[in-house]
Amino acid sequence: MDMRRIGRTDLVVSKICLGTMTWGQQNTEAEGHAQMDYAFERGVNFLDTAELYPIPPKAETQGRTERYIGNWMKARGNRDKVVLASKVVGRTTNDWFRGGRPSKLVREDIMHAVEGSLQKLQTDYIDLYQIHFPERRVPWGSNPNRVGNWPAKRDADETPIAETIAVFEELVKAGKIRHLGLSNESSWGVMRFIFESEKGNGPRPASLQNAYNLVNRTFEVNLTEVSDREEVSLLAYSPLAQGYLTGKYDHGARPQGSRSQLFNRGQRYETPNAAEVQLEYNELARSFGMEPALFANAFVCSRPFVMSNIIGATSIAQLDMALSSASVTWTTEMQEAVDAIHQRTGNPCP
């Protein structure tokens, strides 16, 4: 397993990061532990979680995923071998994160979040603590193909980025977190955090966790240059487009027990023309003699600007295939075929 350094930090992580958002909803604690055991045996050292997990977010399940990870690290005695990433939610009206009230990216709420995560994870520090999504009003994912009503409405009580980043400085100095990461952020947002850090208001963002896959390459438009020149590493999530690039949903299928069938939360990948484009990529994978899931993950792993590919699985078989993508030789022929589809279809699922 290739290892890479995140941004300008001393964090060295595996080419593949194990995502955890199904643990506590689609997966039991025992299954989550088995996935971590298997991934770490295969060379993974990087886990990504969040206070919000598991997905879909619900009051009765919130925090289970971090608890499962904490129990695993305690049982294995391996905290020093794990690069651990978690996240604090941005602005949300969901009131179960803060004991019955909405949450924002203000000091009280960030402190509450990090203390809760440290307790559940049974650790004294988090290596990479990320802002799950911006507090300001932006389209989900922050990099859409187009925006309808722009400029977006601004909340009168929007928390300035300078105020938010100062809280992360406190956390770094207290030893509760090592580095700041962003997620679902735009090029403006990343640069604004960098601007505030260079003014001395807080830690420099080390990474950006955004969606990146065959049907959503919006990261390439502006953020690749930001990532390269500012050394803010991309941690790519949703390499399989919530399962639509596995082939299991081809021709309108909805297998029993699949995420789309269970939760009906796949709207990001059910946009006009999305099904046709997804099918075209899945058939392209098969033409190269590969399972669509292996092909889609290998594409993400092959991109030079992807620091780590955050995979997800609900079974060991799925996990094995995702891990195998790190060793696939991605050819010029494959890339040219992918780019030919992309040239015609663009980003149907930003």
Catalytic residues: 53
The distance of Cα 160 from the centroid of its chain, to the nearest Å, equals 24
From CA 341, how far away is CA 350, in angstroms rounded?
Answer: 16
Write phi, then psi, for 54 (nearest 5 degrees): -85, 170
**Nearest residue to 4 (alpha-carbon basis) of 213, 218, 207:** 207
**Nearest residue to 14 (alpha-carbon basis) of 42, 45, 38, 41:** 45
**Nearest residue to 50 (alpha-carbon basis) of 122, 125, 130, 110:** 130
Q: Are 102 and 93 in contact (CB under 8 A)?
A: yes
From CA 301, how far away is CA 15, in angstroms rounded?
Answer: 7
**Nearest residue to 237 (alpha-carbon basis) of 29, 50, 72:** 50
Which DSSP symbol is given to 151? S
From CA 341, how far away is CA 280, in angstroms rounded?
Answer: 8
As given in the structure block, the two tokens for residue 103 are: 């949450």
- Burial of 231: CB neighbours in 10 Å, binned 0-12, 13-18, 19+: middle
Torsional class of 36: left (φ above 0), alpha (ψ -120 to 50), beta (otherwise) = alpha
